[in-house]
Amino acid sequence: MNSTPAPRNSGLQAIDLELARLKMVREMRKRFDQSAELLALGQITVSDALEWIHSATAVEHENSIQEEKRKKESQLLVLTKIEGIDTLLAEDLIDEFGSLQAIAQATPEELEIVPGINKTRAKEIVKELPKLMGQM
Amino acid sequence: MKPFKQTHMSREDRAFTERQLKAAELSLARAEQSSDLAKDLKAGIEVTEQQKIAFDEAEQFRRGVQVSSKTSSALSTRRTNPFSPKRPVSQLHQVTDDITTHLSEAGYFQETADLKVRGMVTPTAKVREFNKRVSETGRKIEGLTEDLQQTRNFLGRYSRYSLIEGRQEEK
């Protein structure tokens, strides 16, 4: 089993992500207001205004995808430290239970619902996951 | 009850549904932004229309004063009404087209995701999340479609400007 400890500052990372999201929302609002103003003044065309606004939406959308990806990767990283759990199985566990907390609270029988999780792996998860989460 | 395999979403199906939902959510976000812009334009059109009416009234009144007093002054100069909702009406038409496009795209992706996830049970959390997002997206599409209809009704009241000006974009 890989014994590298999980990052301890996940709470701070979550705050940073939320601040970055709020900043982006403010930026988008600003961009929207500017576009609406310029459009009302006839200084830009509707196509330009929409393109400007929509490109900001696309950036925000991409950022939220990346944020979700990072969150999922950090969960997978914890699970793959358990013996016999590869990335695909870890992903299946997250998709079945929704979070690390929910997986940690599940019984071995419940864990065995996931295809590929046998008795041995289920026991290993029950034994190891709370310890790994304690290191976060 | 269907056998497990028929109610379990494979990894491929989950990835497919995720892509459809993401595409629906992006189109929806764009439709929402355009809808906000339409609200701004509608408010601007109403203000301009009021200014136009006020100017016409002022002009009528001033001409009446001039006729009754028979004085020759600056009042005698007939001024053209500078307030016209033509441009914002034309802009609103284009924004409405944009909302229609994005809503149609969002509806298409949302429906595909819905078809894929329908009848699925496992993986439990993921299926629940997909169902939640499908219905949330559906609700938003419905709301924006109602707004769009209201905007079309609004434009109907200003059709005289669209007919004169056409829908050419002003550079």
What residues does each domain of chain A span?
A: 9-71, 80-136
Q: Does A97 touch chain B (CB under 8 A)?
A: yes
More confident residue, A43 or A136: A43
CATH domain A80-136 topology: DNA polymerase; domain 1 (1.10.150)
Q: How far apart are the first and last CA of chain A?
A: 17
pLDDT, position A5: 47
- Tell me if B125 is assigned to some domain: yes
Contact between residue B28 and residue B148 where contact means Cβ atoms under 8 Å apart: no
Distance separating alpha carbons of residues B98 and B101, to the nearest angstrom: 5
C-alpha angle B140-B144-B146 in degrees, rounded to nearest 5: 120
- How many contacts does A have with B, using Cβ atoms within 8 A? 74
pTM over 0.90: no
Q: pLDDT tens digit string along B92-135?
A: 999 999 999 999 999 999 999 999 999 999 999 999 999 999 99
- Tell me if B94 is assigned to some domain: yes
**Residue that the structure tokens 């988008």 belong to:** A28
ipTM of the complex: 0.78
What is the CATH number for B134?
A: 1.20.58
* pLDDT above 90: residue B18: yes
Q: B151 to chain A: which residues are within 8 Å by CB?
A: none
Report the number of secondary-structure helices (H) and strands (E) in chain B. 5, 0
Q: A92 to chain B: which residues are within 8 Å by CB?
A: 11, 123
Residue type, A38: L
Domain extent at residue B133: 10-49+85-165
For chain B, how big is the Rg over CA atoms in Å? Answer: 26
Tokens of A103: 């997986």
- Tell me if B79 is assigned to some domain: no
Tokens of A61: 């959308």
DSSP type of residue B122:
B
Contact A35 B34 (CB under 8 A): no
- Bond prior to B123 in cis (omega within 30° of 0): yes
* pLDDT above 60: residue A9: no
Domain count for chain B, please give it. 1
- Tell me if B106 is assigned to some domain: yes
Contact B123 A92 (CB under 8 A): yes
Contact B30 A102 (CB under 8 A): no
Question: Which residues partner with B8 through β-bridges?
Answer: B122
